[in-house]
Amino acid sequence: MQRLANLSAARTDAGPTAIEVAGLSHVYDGREGKVPALEDIAMTVGAGRFVVIVGPSGCGKTSLLMMLAGLRRPSEGAILCNGRPIPSPDPERVGVVFQEASLFPWLSAQDNVEFPLALRHAPRAERRRRATDMLDLVGLQGFGGRYPHELSGGMKQRVAIARGLVQDPPVLLMDEPFAALDEQTRMTMGHELLRIWSQTLKTVVFITHSLTEAVYLADEVLVMSARPGRIIDRIAIALPRPRTYDMMATDTFGRLRDRIWQQIRTAD
């Protein structure tokens, strides 16, 4: 409780904060007894910031994201989302975009985006309007009637982003959303995501394996160690906004990416 109080105090001091995590540790029961998965995670994400988490495979990045979404509970520690704990999923506060193939194949793009609203029994007209707005926002005007198997990988993830944003949550969590895409589509989608982010002013926590993607997108990169996952470095990305593809060729970009790479190599 003392920890929660401290967190709240810190929040009022440091301006608007979207996510605060303190003293978070997680242990799960594996086949050979208790396995420590996450250890003493502390992080603060300011409202409207774009934070990217990188780390070796199996370091608990996804677990951490699931906890931020209220889908899983940590063994220890506190998570505050917009100042309140998140013991169970709350789509009005947090939207989630998963890895590939998370769209429902039996629903059209439009119905996939409407899905979260349908769960809350929102009126049909409102559902239609909001979903259409979101499809417009992600650049899929006129594609609402298509089914997932009729869409390309990039378009599917656009639909997934629209679905994550349809209830207008202040926070968007993204778990390697572009991992299954080819390199070119991936770059385009990263750029598109920044456009959507700047238009909607969301707070984004984004997990990726791609260091280039991390530097290109982030305000701040958090580097995690191998299991048990700890945050071993926080790197502010001071590149100006809006980001452009040219920046990837600059020395600053290269130095930032190298620094993350060094950290991950030693962490593995």
Partner 1 sequence: MNRLTILAVRLALLGAFLAAWEMLPRHGVLDARMLPPLGDVLRMLVDVLGRPRVQEAIGVSAGEFAVAFLIAIPLGAAIGILIAENDYLGEIFKPMLFYVFSVPKSIFLPMFILVFGIGFQQKVAYAAFSTVFIVIMSATAAVESVKADHLLVARSYGATRAQIIGRVYLPSMMPVLLEALRLSMIFNFTGVLIAEMYASRTGIGQLIANWGENFQMPQLFAGVVFLATVAIVFNESIRWLEAQCSAWRT
Is the link from the previous residue into 228 a cis peptide, with omega within 30 of 0?
Answer: yes
Interface residue with partner 1 among 149, 240, 246, 251 (CB under 8 A) is 149
Sequence-ordered list of residues with C-beta below 8 angstroms from that of 213, at least 6 positions apart, any chain: 52, 178, 186, 190
CA separation for the pair 159, 239 (Å, rounded) = 29
Q: Name the minimum Å distance from CB 6 to partner 1.
A: 29
Give the β-pairing of 50-54 and 203-207.
Answer: parallel
Q: Name the minimum Å distance from CB 160 to partner 1.
A: 9
Q: Name the minimum Å distance from CB 102 to partner 1.
A: 5
96's tokens: 């989630």
Indicate whether 120 belongs to the interface with partner 1 (CB under 8 A).
yes
Q: Name the minimum Å distance from CB 171 to partner 1.
A: 12
Indicate whether 23 belongs to the interface with partner 1 (CB under 8 A).
no
Indicate whether 89 belongs to the interface with partner 1 (CB under 8 A).
yes
CA separation for the pair 193, 202 (Å, rounded) = 11
- Segment interacting with partner 1 (CB under 8 A) among 12-20, 94-102, 129-137, 254-262: 94-102
Indicate whether 106 belongs to the interface with partner 1 (CB under 8 A).
yes
CA separation for the pair 84, 4 (Å, rounded) = 10
In three-state secondary structure terms, 226 is coil
Interface residue with partner 1 among 27, 42, 115, 209 (CB under 8 A) is 115
* Nearer to partner 1 (CB atom), residue 120 or residue 124: 120
CA separation for the pair 166, 134 (Å, rounded) = 6
The residues that touch partner 1, with contacts defined as CB under 8 A, are 69, 71, 88-91, 96, 98-99, 101-102, 104-106, 115-116, 118-120, 147-149
